[in-house]
Amino acid sequence: MNYRPFGNTDLRVSEVGFGAWGIGGPAKVGDIPIGWGDVKDEQSIAAIKKSLDVGINFFDTADFYGFGHSEKILGDVIGPMKDILIATKVGQRMNEKNEYEILYTKEYILEACELSLKRLNREAIDFYQLHTARLTHLQNGECIEAMELLKEQGKIRYWGLSLNTMEPAPEAEWLMERNLGDGFQIVLNIINQRGLPVIQEAEKKGLGIIARMPLQFGLLTGKFDKSTRFPENDHRAFRLPPAFLAELLDALEEVWPLCKKYGIDKKSLAMSYILSHPGISTVIPGIKTPAQAEANVSGLVQLEEEDLDFLHQLFTKQFDDLVSRMK
């Protein structure tokens, strides 16, 4: 395992981390699934332990994943381990009416942090993130005050923003202009490259970058075909309906010849694309099984500049339009 600096902080993170959304289990907001279907805790625990075995030292979760269940599992297994880094997020919740709500008040963030610390079995959170806060929330200022106070109190070491999936620039630009925060989490993969300008600017400013959704809901693993269907309690059931899935798979056919060139599988190509950008600190594929933990750290290569250019051009030519239609 290779380790990279997390921007200008003193954190050194495994270049492949552990995305813990999936281990939160099935969850719904109203009738909309926000989890990854049924997940057994025993399997999740085994996946965490295998990840440690292969050198992963960075685990990313959120208090919204399984409504705290993902944090609790991580806390039970790795909470007391001082050499293992945990990042989590705040700002999305289910309110007392069982309705989805975004909340970035100072009071709420301070309370939520205490609850996350308890679930994670930690005295401090290594990297605490505002969970896709928008520009209006940042401009209000309460969430910034809360993060700075928590850092002063030693309850978090560093903080940043997990950026919106589709249009990350305004919030990132606002924070960078004011030298606020220590890093960003941002979507980057072969299909969705919209975050590259932010990543390049953040690198210049010495900010850490977590790349999420490297396999785009599994599309880039090579495991799906046009007959693939997802259970109703899996969020991909509405994100990847059959006709749209087929269109995406057809578009990806131009990508896969690169696998033969490098002698790697589709998953390894997808991960290698991200890690070939020097501004990336770590990439966090979702890991739910020990086999996934092993697979995600294998077959990684540095892509040649001509191949990165080809994939960037392919995004402009056809993937950007497809991203616009994603839910």
Domains of the chain, each with CATH number or no CATH: 3-216+282-297 (3.20.20.100)
Mean pLDDT of the chain: 93
- Any long-range contacts for 228-237 (C-beta under 8 Å, 24+ apart)? 230/37, 231/37, 231/38, 232/33, 233/26, 233/28, 233/33, 233/35, 233/37, 233/38, 234/33, 234/35, 234/36, 234/37, 235/32, 235/33, 235/34, 235/35, 235/36, 237/33
Mean of pLDDT values over 181-204 = 96
Q: What is the pLDDT of residues 215-248, one digit of tens each?
A: 998 899 999 999 999 988 788 888 899 999 999 9
Instruction: Report the pLDDT value the prediction gives residue 233, as an integer from 0 to 100.
Output: 79
Lowest average pLDDT, out of 83-92, 96-105, 137-146, 240-249, goes to 96-105
**166 band by pLDDT with thresholds 50, 70 and 90:** low
Q: Report pTM.
A: 0.94
**168 band by pLDDT with thresholds 50, 70 and 90:** low
Which of 126, 180, 184, 182 lies closest to 155, judged by CA? 126
Mean of pLDDT values over 129-135 = 95
Count CA atoms closer than 13 A to 227's CA, side-chain side: 0
Q: What is the pLDDT of residues 22-44, one digit of tens each?
A: 888 776 666 666 666 678 899 99
**209 band by pLDDT with thresholds 50, 70 and 90:** very high
Neighbouring C-beta atoms of residue 271, cutoff 10 Å: 27
Mean of pLDDT values over 133-150 = 97
> What percent of the chain shows pLDDT beyond 90?
82
Mean of pLDDT values over 191-219 = 95
Instruction: Report the pLDDT value the prediction gives residue 281, as an integer from 0 to 100.
Output: 98
Lowest average pLDDT, out of 92-101, 272-281, 294-303, goes to 92-101
